[in-house]
Structure formats: C-alpha cells, structure tokens
Structure 1
Amino acid sequence: MTEITKARIAILATDGYERSELREPLEKLRARGATVEVVSPKSDEIRSWDGGDWGDSVPVDRPLAQARVEDYDALVLPGGQINPDKLRLEDAAVAFVREFAKSGKPVGAICHGPWLLVEADAVRGRDVTSYHSIRTDLVNAGANWRDAEVVTDEGIVTSRNPNDLPAFIAKLVEEIGEGRHERALEAAH
C-alpha cells in the first residue's frame, strides 16, 4: 500500500497529448502530495493538442530511456488521438506499459490512452472503457468494454474523456492506496 503523499507517479506522453488529460492528473496528484514525473521518448518538452491546434507545452522530467518501472508506484496514460498513436509505435513505450501491467502497479488510461494497453496486451479479459471511437480496438484485443465514467479491473483504471477526469483521478488515488494488484500473467504477457 502506498499513501498518495509518498507515491511516485509517471505520466507517459509525447507531442499531441490532450491538454486536460495530462495537466489535470499532473496538477491534482501533485497537489495531493505525490511526486509526478512526465516521462517521454523526447527529452526536453512536449506540446499538447488542444481544441484543434497545438497548445501549450510541459517539460519532460525524465526521458523514457532513463525511466524504470521500479522507480514508480503508478502510471498514467493521457489520451488525445495523436499522443497514444505516436507512443504505440515506440517499442520502448510499449515495453514500459507492458512492464507496468505485469508489475501489478496501478495503471490509469483515459480517452485514447487505452490504445497503449492494447499494444501491451494488457486488456485481454479485463473490464475497460475508453473514448467510444476505439471501442472496437479494445474489444478486438479481448477486453470487456463498458460505457462508464470510470472502470477499474485489478488496478487498471480507464475513463472515456476529459469530463470523466474527476472520477478518473479519484479512482487512481484509491488504487494507488491499495498498492499492487495480482493480475493473471496471461492478461499481460
């Protein structure tokens, strides 16, 4: 079990993340006392995609090449269509997500973020939700897709869109407090 004030959380993202889906977890989790780092294949800063245009940027705290699953208590995967689509083409990013899924540590993915869970083969047999346009991708990967504001299955927390952020963040904090979850290895190999 990990108290949120002692938790170390990685947010894996790259250019094209949905602004609110990175910023809100980053700010709210830090406000609760967690140490939160933005991890990215890039090493300087990454830019959001907000309202049909490139938005602001956030600094990268740790390049993905230097990030280790054992350094964190939880992982957050923000959406936006561009961000997870780029990351699922990065072998190191998929491997990082796969290792997190295997570790039993909480993983939160919102909107299009579950695409990375599909690539890491971490949704087979799990209850999940996502942005509606990737429902078929999740179902085809073996997930049990549900239309709900937040769905949790053995520490894997998923939500549909920015409107679900309050429930998503609250559930993630709860799962971090519970600590590691036993997950069947065949679901995250």
Structure 2
Amino acid sequence: MLIAFLTAPRGVEQVELTEPWQAVLDAGDTPRLVSTRPGRVQAYRHLDKADAFPVDQVVTDASADEYGALVLPGGVANPDALRMDRHAVAFVRSFFDTGKPVAAICHAPWTLVEADAVRGRTLTSWPSLRTDIANAGGTWVDEEVTVCHDGPNTLITSRKPHDLKAFCAAFTAEFAKAGQERMSPSGI
C-alpha cells in the first residue's frame, strides 16, 4: 500500500518522520514524501537543523485516491505551515472524506483542526494543543496513543517522540486492517 507522509518544506521533527517512515517500510508498504513545494524537506531535532529529505510529490499534484493512508509527522513549525496552505488542508481533509486512515503525532493535529477533522473525535497530541482540539469539537486525552473509530475513518494520534514505538505499532496495525478491508469483496 502507498502511504503519504505530508510535511511542510521546513520544520518537521526528524524522528517523527524517520521512525514512522521505517515502520511503514517494515510493514511492507511504500512511503512517499508529499510537501507543499518540490525539492527537499528540511527536518529538525527540536530547534536545530537536521537532515533534508527529497520530496516525492507536491501536494497540488497529489490525491487521496492514490494513497491507502496518511501520516502527519509533528514539529511545531511543520503543522503550523501546513494549516496555512489550502492545498495541504484539502489533501488532509480528503482522507477523512474518503474514509482512509490518518495517523498524526505531536503538533500534527493542528492541521487536523484546520481541516475540521477533529469534531466528535477523541485524540491526543502535544499537551499545548489541548485547547485548540477542544475548541474544534474534539475530546483531548493524555495517552501514549489513541485510536479513534468514531468518525468516517480511523484516526491514530500520539503525543510526542517518546511515544513513537506505540504510535508506529498502532498505525501500522490499523493501516493493515484498512488495506485488508479494501481488498475484501463487499458483502462478506
């Protein structure tokens, strides 16, 4: 299955990109880096520059129809930039509209708030997003990982880099279930 990783050109927390990326590879799926601009994505370790990664596809050329699921890595600047880009927000929203699973960690739920995708959902995030999520109609919980099926798709969220092991295990399991459901004949 092809999995989209959406990031801004700068500001993604490197470990929140690289560990989920590796988890997707380990699960036998194919990750693709989607961004708002072509070229490379500059990752960070907190506030320090880290590695840069090549963009596979620009979000204006991407469609949820191409992908089986979406991963939204965090970092403070990354989701803040994404939520200001109407194409990125529409891309995120389209995964909810088509019932495809979405995984988001740390500050990434800011983009979900902008996409009006947290209303009626239970999720976790970096603690500073608690009020934003509540104001957008979501229920915030302080848990290592949260899997919410109360909506048009499965939403998997996690709080911080320390939770990556649980986050990766949860979203790869949910992505595998979604892939099997899409491949099963209807009515069975």
- TM-score, with length taken from structure 2: 0.90
2:28 aligned partner, one-letter code = G
Deviation at 1:145, TM superposition (A): 0.6
Structure-1 residue corresponding to 2:34:
39
Q: Give the TM-score taking structure 1 as reference length.
A: 0.89
Matched position secondary structure for 1:16:
strand
- Quick one: distance in 2 between partners of 1:51 and 1:22? 13
Aligned counterparts of 1:76 and 1:8: Cα–Cα separation in 2: 11
Instruction: Give, as a single letter, the amino acid of the residue that structure 1 aligns with 2:100.
Output: K
Q: Which residue of 2 aligns with 1:25?
A: 20
CA apart distance, 1:32 = 2.3
What stretches of structure 2 of length at least 5 have no aligned partner? 180-188
- Residue correspondences, number: 174
Which stretches of structure 1, 4 residues or more, deviate above 4 A after TM superposition? none
Q: Give the Cα–Cα distance (whole angstroms) in 2 for the partners of residues 13 and 51 of structure 1.
A: 15
Q: Does the Cα contact within 8 Å between 2:64 and 2:91 map onto a contact in 1? A: yes
Residue 169 of structure 2: aligned partner = 170
CA–CA distance in structure 2, aligned partners of residues 57 and 33 of structure 1: 24
Residue ranges of structure 1 left out of the alignment (5+ in a row): 1-6, 181-189
Pairwise CA distance, 1:152 = 1.0
Higher relative contact order (CA 8 A, sep 6+): 1
- The answer to whether residue 68 in structure 2 is matched with residue 68 in structure 1 is no
- Report the AA paired with residue 166 of structure 1: K
Q: Give the drift of 1:72.
A: 0.4
Counterparts of 1:69-108 in structure 2 under 5 Å? 69-108=64-103
CA contact (8 A) 2:46 2:75 kept: no
Instruction: String of CA shifts for 1:106-158, please: whole Å, max 9, x gaps.
Output: 10000000001100111101110000011110011011110000011121000
Give the aligned residue type for 2:14.
R
Percent identical residues? 47
Q: Please state how far the C-alpha of 1:73 moved relative to its aligned partner.
A: 0.4
Question: Which residue pairs with 2:156 in the alignment?
Answer: 157
Paired with 1:144 and 1:87, the residues of 2 have a C-alpha distance of 22
Q: Identify the residue that residue 8 of structure 1 maps to in structure 2.
A: 2
